[in-house]
């Protein structure tokens, strides 16, 4: 499922109204009746032309065997709506290479109008669900069908809300820049995941820094829940001497934390389990990769608990609820992720990076291909006829 924006230029004002109407109708209907699309869009009988245009390029799909004539939004359609919003708000101007294909997300490099690079993360919850829990296939197929859109939106909203809170409190995370539907835009970190780093000059100090980060998160009321070598990017900066007269050049390694849809509160029923798992993940990786074994045991959750809220810090697990990601949303997302077998980067079937690839994932409709890596940068085509926009980036009226 590759993001492909090339059809955007061919959509006219009616097409956008129709696409938006299908999105709106999806809130209450798994399959949006054609008549309702005509009604919401205000196009009435005129809607059929746009419906076939959108269906032809896969932005909406007709559900066969439905008892009534109707359509549902596809991931492609939702992608277009998000991109269109970003383009109007001038958050994204062009789309570049895909740099990551997770199980539940696509990561792309994009740029703003000044050419500054950013990262677009597209959440795609549910796209691999049938592979992981095969026994519950039919149940999942049913449950998944109507929920992926809402749940992917929740995942993006959660990630954006937590990233914002962490960033505001001085945690080393990307800068959250924008959010729309199932996607977020954040700053590009010029660094590799720790998974790709063969050796470091001083494993003990990097290890200490990562453990410190886990403890500091707990102090602020949070557990990352997927704290591993894929979600820690290691930024390298050179500092100190030139390597000749004023001593050896020093490499400073700064870990940057990413990937927040599975964060939990320290008050979560399984908090201790998640905390220990985060700690052990780092331990195991440092032992295997850097042959580093810490002298001390722990840290243990009971010790971390004592520091919650210490020094008067804000509890972010509490403050995110006030800033838009409610407890109810958290519960809904968590139980959905549990149902479809999402467990962060830890899934043994995970297809990513330098690990074995996995070709057997199956889509809801069984028809879509595995994402490919785009290698050309292209500008998001202007959506002709969107009345809110005024002019496009070429100064043309649209």
Q: Which is nearer to ligand ADP, 38 or 100 (CB)?
A: 100
Binding-site size for Mg ion (CB under 5 A) equals 4
Q: Which of the choices Mg ion, ligand ADP, none does residue 347 contact, using the CB cut-off of 5 to 8 A by kind?
A: none
- Pair 238, 249: CB distance under 8 Å: yes
Q: How many CB atoms lie within 10 A of CB 381?
A: 17
Least Å distance, CB 133 to ligand ADP, is 19
In angstroms, the CA 154 to CA 148 distance is 10
Does 374 contact ligand ADP by CB under 6 A? Answer: no
Least Å distance, CB 159 to ligand ADP, is 8
Does 345 contact Mg ion by CB under 5 A? Answer: yes
Q: Which stretch binds Mg ion (CB under 5 A): 61-69, 226-234, 335-343, 382-390?
A: 226-234
Reference 39, options 23, 60, 55, 25; nearest CA is 25
Does 126 contact ligand ADP by CB under 6 A? Answer: no
Does 259 contact Mg ion by CB under 5 A? Answer: yes
Does 231 contact Mg ion by CB under 5 A? Answer: yes
3-class secondary structure for 198-265?
A: CCCCCHHHHHHHHHHHHHHHHHCCEECCCCCCCCEEEEEEEEECCCCCCCCEEEEEEEEECCCCCCEE
- Pair 393, 382: CB distance under 8 Å: yes
Interface positions, 174-203, toward ligand ADP (CB under 6 A): 174, 186, 188-189, 193
Residue 226 bears catalytic tag = yes
Given the residues 14, 79, 226, 339, select the one marked as catalytic: 226
- Pair 255, 209: CB distance under 8 Å: yes
Q: Which DSSP helix (H) or strand (E) runs through 177?
A: strand 176-180
Residues forming the site for Mg ion (CB under 5 A): 230-231, 259, 345
Active site residues: 226
Contacting residues toward ligand ADP, per CB under 6 A: 99-100, 102, 104-105, 107, 119, 121, 174, 186, 188-189, 193, 230-231, 258-259, 345
């Amino acid at each position: 499922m590759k993001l492909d924006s090339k059809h955007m230029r061919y959509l006219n004002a009616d097409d956008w109204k129709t696409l938006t109407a299908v999105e709106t109708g999806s809130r209450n209907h798994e399959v949006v009746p054609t008549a309702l699309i005509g009604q919401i869009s205000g196009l009435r009988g005129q809607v059929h032309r746009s419906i076939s245009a959108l269906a032809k390029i896969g932005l909406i799909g007709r559900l066969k065997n439905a008892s009534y004539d109707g359509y549902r939004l596809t991931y492609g359609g939702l992608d277009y709506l998000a991109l269109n919003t970003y383009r109007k708000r001038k958050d994204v101007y062009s789309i570049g290479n895909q740099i990551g294909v997770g199980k539940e997300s696509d990561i792309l490099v994009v740029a703003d109008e000044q050419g500054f690079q950013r990262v677009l993360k597209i959440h795609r919850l549910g796209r691999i669900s049938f592979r992981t829990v095969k026994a519950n296939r039919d149940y999942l197929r049913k449950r998944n069908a109507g929920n992926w859109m809402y749940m992917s939106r929740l995942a993006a909203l959660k990630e954006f809300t937590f990233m914002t809170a962490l960033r505001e409190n001085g945690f080393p995370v990307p800068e959250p820049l924008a959010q729309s539907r199932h996607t977020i835009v954040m700053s590009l970190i010029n660094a590799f995941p720790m998974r790709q780093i063969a050796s470091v000059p001083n494993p003990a100090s990097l290890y200490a820094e990562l453990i410190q980060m886990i403890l500091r998160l707990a102090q602020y009321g949070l557990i990352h829940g997927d704290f591993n070598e894929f979600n820690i990017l290691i930024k390298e900066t050179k500092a100190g001497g030139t390597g000749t007269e004023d001593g050896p050049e020093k490499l400073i390694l700064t870990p940057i934390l990413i990937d927040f849809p599975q964060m939990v509160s320290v008050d979560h029923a399984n908090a201790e389990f998640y905390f220990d798992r985060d700690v052990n993940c780092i331990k195991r990786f440092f032992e295997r990769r850097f042959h580093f074994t810490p002298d001390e045991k722990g840290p243990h959750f009971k010790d971390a608990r004592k520091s919650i809220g210490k020094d008067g810090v804000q509890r972010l697990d509490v403050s995110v609820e006030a800033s838009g990601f409610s407890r109810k949303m958290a519960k809904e997302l968590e139980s959905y992720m549990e149902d479809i077998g999402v467990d962060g980067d830890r899934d043994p079937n995970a297809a990513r990076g330098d690990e074995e690839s996995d070709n057997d994932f199956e889509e809801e409709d069984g028809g879509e291909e595995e994402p490919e890596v785009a290698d050309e940068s292209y500008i998001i085509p202007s959506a002709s006829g969107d009345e809110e926009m005024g002019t496009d980036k070429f100064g043309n009226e649209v």
